[in-house]
Amino acid sequence: MSERYYEDYAVGEVISGHPVTVTESAIIDFAFKYDPQPFHLSLPGGEASSYGGLIASGWQTVAVSFRMLAQAGLVGAASLGSFGVDQLRWHRPVRPGDSLFATATVREMRISASKPDRGHVTIDYSTRNQRGEEVLSMSSVQIVRRRDQTVAV
Amino acid sequence: MSERYYEDYAVGEVISGHPVTVTESAIIDFAFKYDPQPFHLSLPGGEASSYGGLIASGWQTVAVSFRMLAQAGLVGAASLGSFGVDQLRWHRPVRPGDSLFATATVREMRISASKPDRGHVTIDYSTRNQRGEEVLSMSSVQIVRRRDQTVAV
């Protein structure tokens, strides 16, 4: 994992993950642990729902997207975490066998006024399936250390 | 799992999960799979960070909170999913051994104008640790079938 200081981001930069296929077994495992709703847990539960079949938990779509972007270098050792997320939207269901492709676009950057050893990087996330349809979007502010600055704890 | 139709919610109702202790091993397992940042992955990585120790991925805090609330009956078989989440905030780090206690409060309810077989339930989530400190908050609109109404697919 690289350091990825604040200075290593640029407004307009796009980070792309590798695609990942979401399997039936991964959907059911995640649901059983974190989101036990009928249409995430079983084939009959999915078929009986308005989705007409098993679909992935929205939290799984978020977690898988974030993982693929982290792996692609979105955040590095200079990351100080995030305040949170805004406008998280699940646009379409994710079904077994769908391949998800996540991108992150740097929308805005500014140095922290109260703690000038770090900056805030606003990132827009988008995840699409193998047909190019958007399944997820959200935006988030990442807190990142500046290069050659001592971090105030 | 009960049905939990739209009519089974009430504005002001509070649903409480059972507490769950987030262990060191659960933090590292989740991070390795979904959020491989140094301060989520290892004790030295946590110690070297501004957090001064290992902390849980914010996505793990969300997933564990949602699971405990689903188990407490927040959503039932009449759930049709959710559009998304707003104002997700991680207020404080979650550390190994912390016990999380999640609550969901029904803030607003309205019948869908375009699809009167369902309603939208706006829910405010809050998760606290064993000292009563808030670690997570967010709000979300849940889509729920009305009782004795045919669902338009």
- DSSP assignment of A79-145, as one string? EEEEEEEEEEEE-S---TT-EEEEEEEEEEEEE-SS-TTEEEEEEEEEEE-TTS-EEEEEEEEEEEE
Candidates B79, B83, B153; nearest CB to A89: B83
Residue B38 main-chain phi, psi, to 5 deg:
-50, -40
Bridge partner residues of B14 (DSSP): B105
Indicate the number of domains in chain A.
1
Q: Tell me: the pLDDT tens digits for A11-21? A: 999 999 999 99
**What's the rounded Cα separation, in Å, for the pair B6 and A81?**
37
Candidates A38, A39, A50; nearest CB to B153: A50
* Chain A residues within 8 A of B80 when measuring between CB atoms: 49-50
> How far, in Å, are A21, A121, A122, B3, B111 from residue A128 at the CA level?
12, 22, 20, 32, 30
Lowest mean pLDDT among A139-143, B10-14, B74-78, B85-89: B74-78
What is the structure's pLDDT at A1?
58
CB within 8 Å: B86 and A84? no
Q: Has residue A48 been placed in a domain?
A: no
CA distance A102 to chain B (A): 14
Average pLDDT (B90-115) is 97
Q: Would you place residue B126 in the very low, low, confident or very high pLDDT band (cuts 50, 70, 90)?
A: very high
Q: Would you place residue A7 in the very low, low, confident or very high pLDDT band (cuts 50, 70, 90)?
A: very high
* Chain B residues within 8 A of A59 when measuring between CB atoms: 59, 62-63, 66
**What's the rounded Cα separation, in Å, for the pair B143 and B141?**
7
Tell the residue number behind the tokens 């847990």, with chain if given: A41
Q: Has residue B150 been placed in a domain?
A: no
Q: Has residue B26 been placed in a domain?
A: yes
Candidates A1, A86, A151; nearest CB to B87: A86
CB within 8 Å: B35 and A66? yes
Q: Has residue B1 been placed in a domain?
A: no
What is the structure's pLDDT at B2?
81
Q: Would you place residue B76 in the very low, low, confident or very high pLDDT band (cuts 50, 70, 90)?
A: confident
CB within 8 Å: B88 and A88? yes
Residue in chain B lying closest to A72 (CA): B36
CA distance B55 to chain A (A): 10
Q: Would you place residue A153 in the very low, low, confident or very high pLDDT band (cuts 50, 70, 90)?
A: low
Q: What angle do CA B25, A68, B99 make, to 5 degrees?
A: 30
Average pLDDT (B124-140) is 98
Q: Tell me: the pLDDT tens digits for B24-42? A: 999 999 999 999 999 999 9
CB within 8 Å: A87 and B86? yes
Predicted complex ipTM exceeds 0.85: yes
In sequence order, the 6+-apart residues with CB closer than 8 A to the CB of B47 are B53
Q: In B137-149, which positions are buried (b, 16+ CB within 10 angstroms) versus exposed (e)?
A: bbbbbbbbbbeeb
Q: Has residue B61 been placed in a domain?
A: yes
Q: Any idea of the CA torsion for A35, A36, A41, A45, to the nearest 10 degrees?
A: -120
pLDDT over 90 (residue B17):
yes
**What's the rounded Cα separation, in Å, for the pair B66 and A65?**
19
Residue B62 main-chain phi, psi, to 5 deg:
-65, -50
What is the structure's pLDDT at A30?
97
Domain of A106, CATH number, reads: 3.10.129.10
Q: Has residue A51 been placed in a domain?
A: no
pLDDT over 70 (residue A111):
yes
Residue A94 main-chain phi, psi, to 5 deg:
-105, 125
Residues of B with CB under 8 A from a CB of A: 1, 33-39, 49-52, 55, 58-59, 62-64, 66-67, 70-71, 75, 77, 79-90, 138, 151, 153
pLDDT over 60 (residue A152):
no
Can you give the residue range of the structural domain that contains B20? 6-145
In sequence order, the 6+-apart residues with CB closer than 8 A to the CB of B54 are B24, B27, B28, B39, B40, B42, B43, B45, B46, B95, B96
Residue whose C-alpha is closest to residue B143's, from B152, B134, B131:
B152
- Give percent of chain A with pLDDT exceeding 90: 90
pLDDT over 80 (residue B152):
no
- Give percent of chain A with pLDDT exceeding 70: 97
**β B79-90/A79-90 pair status:** antiparallel
What is the structure's pLDDT at B77?
85
Q: Has residue B152 been placed in a domain?
A: no
Q: Bigger pLDDT: B3 or B10?
A: B10
Mean pLDDT of chain A: 94
- Give percent of chain B with pLDDT exceeding 70: 97
Q: Has residue A87 been placed in a domain?
A: yes
What is the structure's pLDDT at B150?
64
In sequence order, the 6+-apart residues with CB closer than 8 A to the CB of B49 are A80, B38, B39
Candidates A38, A86, A153; nearest CB to B77: A38
Candidates A37, A38, A89; nearest CB to B84: A89
8 Å CB contact between B54 and B24? yes
The single-letter DSSP state of residue B122 is E
